[in-house]
Structure 1
Amino acid sequence: MGWDGIHGACGTHLEHPERCEGDVGSVGPRGSERQNNLGLMFCVPSTEIGAIMNITKGGLVLFSANSNSSCMELSKRIAERLGVEMGKVQVYQEPNRETRVQIQESVRGKDVFIIQTVSKDVNTTIMELLIMVYACKTSCAKSIIGVIPYFPYSKQCKMRKRGSIVSKLLASMMCKAGLTHLITMDLHQKEIQGFFNIPVDNLRASPFLLQYIQEEIPDYRNAVIVAKSPASAKRAQSFAERLRLGIAVIHGEAQDAESDMVDGRHSPPTAKYVAAIHPSLEIPMLIPKEKPPITVVGDVGGRIAIIVDDIIDDVDSFLAAAETLKERGAYKIFVMATHGLLSSDAPRLIEESAIDEVVVTNTIPHEIQKLQCPKIKTVDISMILSEAIRRIHNGESMSYLFRNIGVDD
């Protein structure tokens, strides 16, 4: 089975937890286990989860909050793994562009899991989620758990100039609407968890990406993990240490959208007449930043370069990094990330670039982009989301899903 439908799994970890202390690798079609060195892999019995769900506890409802049918693929995969039917709900746009949600089955006293994947119209996606959460709250649901693989507005999590911390605003809106728990994946900044006053489980996609590298990249032992900027060096270091590979860091690229060159807060004096400040009391100011020419710290000559990051949105910085790596002698270039937003004309730019393959997970639907660019590959992460839902519903510990996860992962 290809990576668009992840490999089958076995029931060892649920039936015999005492046998799961070793590092488990990928799982064969009949449930056989294979060892690897990462210490991150886990397997989930896709054919047995539903039975365990029904035996241990009832009262689970699974909803998709998307009105766009193309965004429901992940929800269907999760429901299939759990062995449950999708809840009956209608989500649609009124002629006046208002969002309407109609829940068509009882949720009273039940654990409601609302899966919401981000579409191109991110603001409509947010309203669909908030309205559905509030509808479940007013219908007396026991708990309302949001499953939001990619948390929208996560890039706007810092104060800039006279802007706002939008991700904190969104977190407050979700809690106010009635969300009691959140499952997400690879938040852009881990500190976003602190914006919520409810439990947040920030799952990791790195085990799946590491497994892809081991199984789908020939001669990956001759690879080097690359951080396209110093900001992503910790993530690259985590990958490199688990794969026992070298690391390279690109420094000096063009200023990205998240960096502040000028604060911009130049307000007039509060008083009409202000006495001059004595020169000896002048307030010291920071020297403006000036990035050096692009340099690569580390050896990539004659090697496979694997650029890792959490989000691929605007691909300009990735293209520039790929060109630099080619000039330094890398003979093949992969880009790997959890969230593939792939905005604007990203597919065309990737297809025409020096990048050989872009690997992302299905936290965000990108089937159209894949048709436009065959270089884009998908890794399915419905397995870990299904297991998280099962454990939360049954009141089991989530710690197993965070085994060997460090603060830098």
Structure 2
Amino acid sequence: MVRNLVVLGGNSHPDLTDTICNHLGVPPSKILLSKFAVGETRVEVMDSVRGKDVFIIQSGGGKVNDHLMELLITISACKTASAKRVTAVLPLFPYSRQSDIPYNKTGAPLAKAPTQLNRNGNYTFDSRPTTPLPGQAESAGMKGGPENLHKKLMDMQLRDQQANGDSQGSPVKMPRRSTIESVTSEKSDYFDDNTLTPTVTNGSANGDKPVAKFHKAPPHFEPQRGYKQWVAQAGTLVADLLTCAGADHIITMDLHDPQYQGFFDIPVDNLYGKHLLRKYIQFHIPNYQNAVIVSPDAGGAKRATAIADALGMPFALIHKERRPTQITDRQNATMMLVGDVADRTAILVDDLADTSNTITRAAKLLKKEGANKVIALVTHGVLSGDAIDRINASAIDKVVVTNSVDQEENKKRCQKLEVLEVGNVFAEVSWVAPSRVVICDIAPRGQSIDNHSRPSEESTTERVSAFYSTIRWLLKMLLDLAGVSGHIAGWLK
């Protein structure tokens, strides 16, 4: 039994909490998790955690928002109860897929997207002139010079006004604030920078001239192309929430974006599930040397090649070719296989399967290219929505996932699903975390953590007995040298 170590489990994965506690030899501490009538989360820690190392087990599957709120309140409750150290164990980290970098429709970061030039060679607001030569004006690279650019900008402005219903009459340049039928209010500053909309009224029968009346028009926002203007930075936000709640340490597995660790001001241990997947390939896939490791996208190529190199297996990659000018937003990108899988077993390796759209489409492509069998190895099997139905109807022969997310209901619905245990991995890390042992040291040279045997109570007793035997032997030698009587020497025996 481990002293000064407390394990608390949330509602996300009770079976995983029991597995970790059984491996550590400690009972799970009592905690009350419920909801008030209004729907607010209620957490009450029933056992004392004063001066102890607390580990809170809560995964990111299922009702993610409720589980995250449970975790935050539990962390705060433990810190309020004078816990020495609080570690949040998150096998699947919530919101880890929402990166802070804005992405456009093609999936590439905007910071790396070059400015495009249209087919006619005309420059728009989204384009950029060519780099001028030394001593040359900046507008020299433009076709027709700056006059042509100003003319095109004016034409674009006129077309925008006509598209908004300003086709009647000629455009009239007005000051930013108009005194014709305008009322100053608190919201006037909101419209200061927007062009006024002219409305031409025909004159009366007496020959009065037409009168142009100007009204405030709602602002016409032109967001930057491809940039998600109103998307919050959820990655930084969740990291700040855990830190502010009082977490001292984070333990997770296979973060979707490894740079997520940089959002924290506290230590984050990102465990790797590739050791478990590699062992499964070695012991459960016959003749695995002739199989092919396949990455379903370029983002997982590093993970897949690490397994392929460790086992000496060939590697293939599925490239997603995205062409936004030809494919609508609702259509999927074209997939292209780079490698040979003909007459072989194809092993898809990925970190997360949510809707399972990627792995099912990849399996269809692999079977089309001549693969005999397709096996998908996934660390986190979220399998939300109609993912189970999609897998059952797909060309995948088997899907292997870990129990970082509860899979009891999924196993009942899918006969192709096989689950690997990761509770022992998190138990080993929880054992060494309070002693500040480097976690990579418990799995030397890429070996799985579950092969490492923690010291048992029997081995500790043997070491203590050997220590006292050595002390008695030293005392006996000293007494013999001093010439002490025999009955004292006999007592030391």
TM band (smaller chain): 0.7 to 0.9
Q: In the aligned structure 2, how far is the partner of 1:294 from the partner of 1:90?
A: 49
Indicate which of 83, 98, 106 corresponds to 2:48. Answer: 106
Is residue 2:73 matched to residue 1:126? no
**In structure 1, distance between residues paired with 2:30 and 2:320:** 52
| Displacement of 1:150 | 0.6
The structural deviation recorded for 1:293 is 4.8
3-state SS in 2 of match to 1:294? strand
* 1:192 and 2:134 aligned: no
Q: Deviations over 1:24-53 (max 9, x none)?
A: xxxxxxxxxxxxxxxxxxxxxxxxxx4xx3
Q: Give the aligned partner of residue 22 of structure 1.
A: none
Q: Which string of whole-angstrom CA distances, capped at 9 and with x for unpartnered residues, describes residues 33-87 of structure 1?
A: xxxxxxxxxxxxxxxxx4xx3xxxx211110122x5xx20000000000000101
Structure 1 residue aligned with 2:430: 389
Spell out, residue by residue over 1:77-120, the C-alpha distance to the aligned partner (whole angstroms, 9 max, x if none): 00000000101110111121110001111111111110102342
Measure, in 1, the Cα distance between the counterparts of 2:399 and 2:90: 23
Displacement of 1:382: 1.1
Give the Å deviation of 1:291. 10
1:293 to 1:78, Cα distance in 2 relative to 1, 3 A? closer
User: Which residue matches 1:77?
Assistant: 19
Cα distance, 1:296 vs. partner? 1.2
Which runs of 4 or more aligned residues in structure 1 lie more than 6 Å from their structure 2 counterparts after TM superposition?
none
Three-state SS of the structure 2 residue aligned to 1:84 is: coil
Q: How does 1:268-347 map to 2 (within 5 A)?
A: 293-347=334-388
- Which of 371, 375, 390 is the matching residue for 2:412? 371
Instruction: Tell me the residue number matched to 1:61.
Output: 6
Output aligned runs, 1:259-274, within 5 Å.
none
TM superposition shift of 1:294: 3.2
- What secondary structure sits across from 2:340 in the alignment? coil
Could you tell me which amino acid in structure 2 is paired with residue 337 of structure 1? V
1:157-200 CA distances to partner (integer Å, 9 max, x unpaired)?
23322212212110100000000001111111111111110011
Cα distance in 1 between the residues matched to 2:257 and 2:333:
26
Q: 1:235 Cα deviation (Å)?
A: 1.4
Residue 158, structure 1, aligned to residue 94, structure 2? no
How far apart, CA to CA, are the structure 2 residues paired with 1:114 and 1:320?
37
After superposition, give the CA deviation of every residue in 1:346-376 in whole Å (9 maximum; x if it has no partner): 1111111110000110111121111110101
Against the structure 1 CA distance between its residues 98 and 85, is the aligned structure 2 distance closer, same or farther, given a 3 Å change threshold?
A: same
- The separation in 1 between residues aligned to 2:352 and 2:312, in whole angstroms, is 24
Q: Which amino acid aligns with 1:89?
A: I
CA contact (8 A) 1:184 1:203 kept: yes
Cα deviation 1:261-300 (Å, max 9, x = unaligned): 69xxxxxxxxxxxxxxxxxxxxxxxxxxx99853211110
Q: Secondary structure at the match of 2:255?
A: coil
Count of residue pairs brought into register by the alignment? 316
Paired AA for residue 46 in structure 2? Q
TM-score, normalised to structure 1, is: 0.74
Contact 2:100 2:236 in 1 (8 A): no
State the secondary structure of the residue aligned to 2:282: helix
Supply the distance in 2 between the matched residues of 1:401 and 1:345 (Cα, whole angstroms).
Answer: 39
Say whether 1:90 aligns with 2:35: no
CA contact (8 A) 1:203 1:401 kept: no
**Deviates further, 159-168 or 300-309:** 159-168
**Structure 2 match to 1:142:** 84
Alpha-carbon distance in 1 for matches of 2:333, 2:420: 36
Q: Which residue of 1 aligns with 2:135?
A: none
Quote the residue 1:244 is aligned against. Answer: 312
Find the aligned partners of 1:174 and 1:240 in 2 and give their Cα distance: 36
Whole-angstrom distance in 2 between the partners of 1:159 and 1:153: 14
Contact kept? 1:253, 1:317, Cα under 8 Å: no
Aligned residue type for 1:64: G
- Which amino acid in 2 is paired with 1:201? D
Of all paired residues, the percent bearing the same amino acid is 41
Aligned position for 2:124: none
Q: Is the Cα–Cα contact under 8 Å of residues 181 and 199 in structure 1 kept in the other structure?
A: yes
CA shift, 1:132, in A, is: 0.3
CA contact (8 A) 2:322 2:333 kept: no
Q: Distance in 1 between matches of 2:92 and 2:335?
A: 31
- 3-state DSSP class of the match of 1:232? helix
Q: Aligned equivalents of 2:233 and 2:32: distance in 1?
A: 32
Contact 1:232 1:309 in 2 (8 A): yes
Contact 1:152 1:167 in 2 (8 A): no
What's the Cα RMSD here? Answer: 2.0
Report the AA paired with residue 340 of structure 1.
G
Equivalence map 1:9-88=2 (5 Å): 50=1, 53=2, 58-66=3-11, 71-88=13-30
- TM-score of the aligned structures, taking structure 2 as reference length: 0.62
- State whether residues 58 and 71 of structure 2, in contact with CA within 8 Å, keep that contact through their aligned partners in structure 1: yes
Q: Counterpart of 2:434 in 1: which secondary structure? A: helix
Displacement of 1:397: 2.7
- Per-residue CA deviation, residues 308-366 of structure 1 (Å, 9 max, x unaligned), is 11001111121111111001100000111110000111111111111000011011112
Q: 2:52 and 2:420 mapped to 1: Cα distance?
A: 31
Counterpart in the other structure of 1:215: 283
Q: Retained in 2: the 8 A contact 1:252–1:291?
A: no
Q: Which has the larger radius of gyration?
A: 2
- The one-letter code matched in structure 2 to 1:304 is T
Looking at structure 1, the residues matched to 333 and 17 of structure 2 have their Cα atoms a distance apart, in angstroms, of: 46
Deviates more, 1:224-233 or 1:71-80: 224-233
